[in-house]
Structure 1
């Protein structure tokens, strides 16, 4: 099950599990002394895991972004560029990729980083008995299927081949033009020999103090439900951090973190709580910031149920929702109304691909709904731990008024509870979902969410023509040809409306007066190399 992409929070774009302990008292923002010796504090939730191939949520990803250096990162146009990789070179048909590593990278225990460290880490992640949450990221590599099931046929993927200590080849099961972009994701980090107690067997203690090859190293061990401390790794060959120490501080409630931020007792709050959105610009002044982010909030239909099997019913419900009003009144303009199925940050994005179905038109919506025989009662299920109640209630009120139906919101305690019911096809009515890209590609939105066998297609949607176009886009020889196919696939979604696009998110964050140059990326992570002490 893909979970990092699926968004639990209405403001946070990725799945998070709130820490169980109190916020942590005291603590400093920027420390005294020189700026290079400064310590900064950043709010996180309790990570679920800190093994790269098992880290599928925001907070764990934020910590690992400091401990590891990716093979590639993304420029201002969201195109991949090499970081730990010296080069990533495809064959003519984009099926065989040669990855050459930069020399000079070492793990925090002094081990030299080699091609074996990537091959071993990826094979560990892909091997089904290891139960790694991000295992599916390796499914494009040849031989992945042999590592699946209760009794796999193999322990290593046939598509991984070492060339020399700093070079390895990756053969894919099928050509994929966006594989280089994919390599920026957390699952593709390397693991040192010290991480394993035996070949293919992860050391039980590794996760408590992960050893990476990034700009920061662990300082002590993971203090569960409280904090994680990291310090600058002076042997890092890339861009050096501007601060010495980072404290990732676990908070149970975002409102408590916001109070600490206002009193300069916390340096960075990656998400302003919904309750504080209206006052945050005044409360924080120039320390209130926004930036682009890739989250996508939507309502999904159980298309396998008779009530919602007719696309006209689905389109009518979409037309009865005033997205702009909810974005303005509930989210105070901090999110953007969505009328397309992929994020505006992506190459290939087009505005208003939903057409008439995405426009607020209550009179036409009611007429279409009645003609299509829509149900007299609508339920919208959502996870109660994600801050969704206000907008769900507002949506229900609009559907009552505009369609003449009864509508109720139904909260499940946790996002996992909602997903479990949906997976079992238990009656939940419409259900809210969220998505955030793992890497910049239209396929990363279209394939997993809407393909017949998509790993996050919880709504039973299936269209063979859509599947064909996505597959052809993935195998296209150029980006332009790939985007053309992906856009044609998106046009089919607009006709079928298996989900209702609602909102695209932004990073809405704040920082204390003790730090400056606070930047957040499209994955809602603080750039730990750029942040500086203010004095």
Structure 2
């Protein structure tokens, strides 16, 4: 579905939300008020400033596959649809009036709400979506989220996909090349499925600096590269996700330390705390820091065709030799949650008891190693991770624990992110490697297929299990969400038994905010702070 170089394979430290962790679609209505600042006493209006790393793109939206651009685009664009994280059901709070599928989940009909327009007054109609999706799927345009279109019949074969059909002004029909029960949930990933105004389509370079959106905020001033992006409340907005502040100023900084110093000096009202400043901020702000779970999974993968990792009992032993809770507490400052599944909470279908081999049990780990027949004497395990993203300490802590329990010596290997992806793409690793994954849309399929499915977009282990693939395919063709989730869970169970990867933990985020703003929370569905809900205090 995605290129292996996608931002969804997260470079950043899993304990904190940083620049290279991507965001997905969805809406966590069930827990909307958990972890927020005190309820706001402010009213709609006012301006606040938030920290943002320089985005890569703002237009077209289909080129956005990172948290930096989506933080802006999620304010100036409404999604087609959102997803309830508890039930997995679609919430029609965006541009779609209804989304339905035929019995075998291959033909999807999207009915749009009437009367909605782009910021420039153009109608938001079926043609505006067909225009955007055809542009995205055309390989000549090399869009970052083009993988989302790959399920559509005829995608990637030319400028127009045969599976995208405009029925009438408000109706779009999409034919998939095979059944996929989660297509509705996939549509909640807003950047990939946003429409595009004809004016923007005619001059994408200009639109990149001043995007033409569909949401509660608009950009009336061009993007000041490496300095600032300002969005303002759109007076003619008629949707269901209204803006609270009159405007939001996103300010760019060269380092997380510089951003935190500006916050201390009153120049910023909201920022995500990076590891470099978290402990200092905690000493000053204490309980005023908002700490919440994210849906990001951190894991260690194995080259399963290489000895000794070709023996699943060795993989299981290594997993049970790692004390995740201790590492989370002592290395990650408590801002992570030990994993019990490949699928992370609060994704529908995530479980707290799925993984038999994810608990710390040194005696059982030794037994598993003995059963494997592998002698660790004289063996050195090579551990790989990307440098400069906060992974050094925890990878070494895990390696030391494995050494203490099982007797394997270890060496650490780190490279910069771009080189690290090249290493993984080329299979140039000889031991456990670190990766992270964050949701695109709230479905267990979005974790199982890419990470452990045969030829999955983030499957660097070489793992292939036809039974697992068949269960995923059955989940794709399921006629109900409950049936689909059950089948995806069965597929996950096979991977948790075979252990091509070791689930380590799901991430957490830490947010600091000034007294000038209220109603600050982290939206786990969007993978970012809920900027549109923030109020300016009286």
Distance 1:12 1:116 in 2: 40
2:175 pairs, out of 164, 171, 174, with 171
Aligned position for 2:362: 362
1:391 pairs, out of 368, 391, 394, with 394
Task: Say if 1:191 and 1:105 are closer, same or farther in 2 by CA, change over 3 A.
Answer: same
CA deviation profile, 1:285-334 (whole Å, cap 9, x unmatched): 55311234211110111123233211111111111111010011012221
Matching of residue 187 in structure 1 with residue 167 in structure 2: no
Distance 2:518 2:196 in 1: 33
Q: CA deviation at 1:366?
A: 3.5
1:526 pairs, out of 508, 516, 529, with 529
Task: Say if 1:298 and 1:13 are closer, same or farther in 2 by CA, change over 3 A.
Answer: farther
Aligned position for 1:53: 62
Aligned position for 1:303: 304
Distance 1:63 1:304 in 2: 43
Structure 2 counterparts to residues 38-437 of structure 1, below 5 A: 38-50=46-58, 51-75=60-84, 77=86, 79-82=89-92, 83-144=94-155, 147=156, 152=157, 154-185=158-189, 186-197=191-202, 203-238=204-239, 239-270=241-272, 272-278=273-279, 280-285=281-286, 287-355=288-356, 357-369=357-369, 371-373=372-374, 376-413=379-416, 415-437=417-439
CA deviation profile, 1:462-499 (whole Å, cap 9, x unmatched): 01000000010111111111111111101101111010
Distance 1:364 1:240 in 2: 54
Distance 1:302 1:76 in 2: 33
Aligned position for 2:36: none
Q: CA deviation at 1:388?
A: 1.1
Q: CA deviation at 1:282?
A: 4.9
Aligned position for 1:444: 446
Q: CA deviation at 1:17?
A: 9.0
Deviates more, 1:125-134 or 1:35-44: 35-44
Structure 2 gaps of 5+ residues are 23-41
> SS where residue 284 of structure 1 aligns?
helix
Distance 1:234 1:372 in 2: 70
Distance 1:374 1:42 in 2: 54
8 Å CA contact 1:5, 1:14 repeated in 2: no
Q: CA deviation at 1:342?
A: 0.4
Provide the TM-score with structure 2 as the length reference.
Answer: 0.89
Q: CA deviation at 1:529?
A: 2.5
Distance 1:76 1:298 in 2: 23
Distance 1:322 1:386 in 2: 21
Distance 2:21 2:228 in 1: 14
> Where does structure 1 differ by over 6 angstroms across 4 or more consecutive aligned residues?
none
Distance 1:406 1:227 in 2: 48
Task: Say if 1:40 and 1:116 are closer, same or farther in 2 by CA, change over 3 A.
Answer: same
> SS where residue 368 of structure 1 aligns?
helix
8 Å CA contact 2:8, 2:438 repeated in 1: yes
Provide the TM-score with structure 1 as the length reference.
Answer: 0.90
Q: CA deviation at 1:401?
A: 1.6
8 Å CA contact 1:6, 1:436 repeated in 2: yes
8 Å CA contact 1:379, 1:430 repeated in 2: yes
Structure 2 counterparts to residues 492-511 of structure 1, below 5 A: 492-511=494-513
> SS where residue 469 of structure 1 aligns?
helix
Distance 1:100 1:90 in 2: 12
Distance 1:418 1:36 in 2: 45
Distance 1:529 1:349 in 2: 28
Distance 1:222 1:17 in 2: 22
Task: Say if 1:60 and 1:372 are closer, same or farther in 2 by CA, change over 3 A.
Answer: farther
Structure 1 gaps of 5+ residues are 19-33
Q: CA deviation at 1:109?
A: 1.7
8 Å CA contact 1:292, 1:521 repeated in 2: no
> SS where residue 386 of structure 1 aligns?
coil
Distance 1:476 1:173 in 2: 16
Q: CA deviation at 1:79?
A: 3.3
Aligned position for 1:24: none
> SS where residue 494 of structure 2 aligns?
helix
Distance 1:285 1:333 in 2: 14
Q: CA deviation at 1:125?
A: 0.6
> SS where residue 174 of structure 1 aligns?
coil
Q: CA deviation at 1:365?
A: 2.1
8 Å CA contact 1:5, 1:15 repeated in 2: no
Distance 1:89 1:134 in 2: 23
Distance 2:116 2:7 in 1: 28
Q: CA deviation at 1:5?
A: 2.0
